[in-house]
Amino acid sequence: MSQSSVEKVLIIGSGPAGWTAAVYAARANLNPVAYIGFAKQDPGPVLPGGQLMLTTEVENYPGFPKGVTGPELMQHFQEQAERFGTRVVGEEITRCEFSSDPAKDPHRLHTSEGVVVRAHAVILATGAVANWIGLPNEMRLARSGGGVSACAVCDGALPGFRNKPLAVVGGGDTAMEEATYLTKFGSTVYVIHRRDSLRASKIMQERFLGRPNAKVLWNKQVVDVLGDQMIEGVTLEDTVTKERSRLDVGGLFVAIGHTPATKFLADSGVELDGSGYIALKQRSSYTNLPGVFAAGDVADSHYRQAVTAAGMGCIAALDAERWLAAVGVD
């Protein structure tokens, strides 16, 4: 790609939002290019394909009545985008210089290979990284489909978790929401919290604690995840006495938050909310900067589902197409 060329639409990210935006932009003859390289940020890299690359069975995405694996679903997305002409670059965008008048003075984007790419419209779809405890066997089982997950709504209804004791790590509203959802399926749902009180709102606490199969383990932290092919239990350490114990569970759900992949936007001028997610204008994908749009989990701290991310990717592509027409970029 020549440094002197100017892209009409450049997409950063390769999850459901990025690929859907690419499909719509390509079908609109906008000749989009997608940069899908790793986003190197704490607490870990954003994989090409997004969080679905850590999900074995996806049963709640429409059109797959028998389910589909996360990596397979993302492969379908990419193939569809490429079928309509999306160009794919396996590099990372490391820094953004956004223009105040990108129709005449295109945005300048710096890649991990030292190339400066210019574009009239940019769609930010880099997603968010689930925060993990950081234990070696936790990550191994999460990647292999061994009963460790960071999304109860995504995975909790799978047959492998039904009628088994399940554990949720966390103490905020997200943990309470995840744990309450799991009480529909698990025999007992344990919330493991390192303190003696929850951070979640009272109404969320009451909603969980009101379930007959709900239980909170206070002053406990997970220090090991047990099991070879599938999780068999966790080792707990008391945060006060340091005493260790074993809890047998058939599933572990880590609900200690997400980190949006927005570090590469530092000093770019893109407005972020208090949690670091990209702030959008109501009912649109428009950011505070002209010609800069956002879609998916990088701008959604609430739903974080593949289908909602895909919908946001559609919106971003349509908004970008209409913006380009309005400013006279053919």
Q: Write out pLDDT tens, residues 1-19.
A: 444 589 999 999 999 999 9
% the chain with pLDDT above 90: 84
Distance CA 60, CA 154 (A): 7
Q: Write out pLDDT tens, residues 154-213.
A: 899 999 999 999 999 999 998 999 999 999 999 999 999 999 999 999 999 999 999 999
Which domains are delineated in the chain? Answer: 6-129+258-327 (3.50.50.60), 132-254 (3.50.50.60)
Residue 47: pLDDT over 80:
no
**Catalytic residue flag (residue 314):** no
**Cα atoms in the Cβ-side hemisphere of radius 13 Å centred on 215:** 12
Residue 138: closest CA among 259, 224, 232:
224
Catalytic residue among 42, 101, 105, 151: 151
The pairing of strands 233-238 and 93-97 is unpaired
**Catalytic residue flag (residue 238):** no
> What pLDDT sits at residue 58?
85
Greater model confidence, 42 or 48 = 48
Could you tell me how far CA 204 lies from the centroid of its own chain? 23
Q: How confident is the prediction for the chain on average, in pLDDT?
A: 93
Q: Write out pLDDT tens, residues 282-291.
A: 889 999 999 9
> What pLDDT sits at residue 5?
87
Catalytic residue among 96, 101, 105, 154: 154
% the chain with pLDDT above 70: 94
Q: At 180, which helix (H) or strand (E)?
A: helix 173-182
> What pLDDT sits at residue 249?
98
Cα–Cα–Cα angle for 216, 221, 226, nearest 5°? 100
> What pLDDT sits at residue 143?
87
Q: Is 13 left (phi over 0), alpha (psi -120 to 50) or beta?
A: left
Kindly tell me the burial class for residue 42, based on how many C-beta atoms sit within 10 Å of its own C-beta (0-12, 13-18, 19 or more): exposed
Distance CA 121, CA 102 (A): 7
Q: Write out pLDDT tens, residues 276-316.
A: 999 999 889 999 999 999 999 999 988 889 999 999 999 99
Q: Write out pLDDT tens, residues 76-94.
A: 999 999 999 999 999 999 9
**Catalytic residue flag (residue 155):** yes
Catalytic residue among 155, 297, 300, 319: 155
Q: Which two tokens stand for residue 106?
A: 């295109």
Q: Which two tokens stand for residue 206?
A: 């009451």
Distance CA 276, CA 64 (A): 33
Positive or negative, the CA dihedral 324, 326, 328, 330 is positive
Inter-residue contact 180 to 205 (CB < 8 Å)? no
Backbone angles phi, psi at 225, to 5 degrees: -110, 130
Q: Which two tokens stand for residue 113?
A: 């290979």
Residue 133's pLDDT band, with cuts at 50, 70 and 90, is: very high
Residue 42: pLDDT over 70:
no
Its pTM stands at 0.82
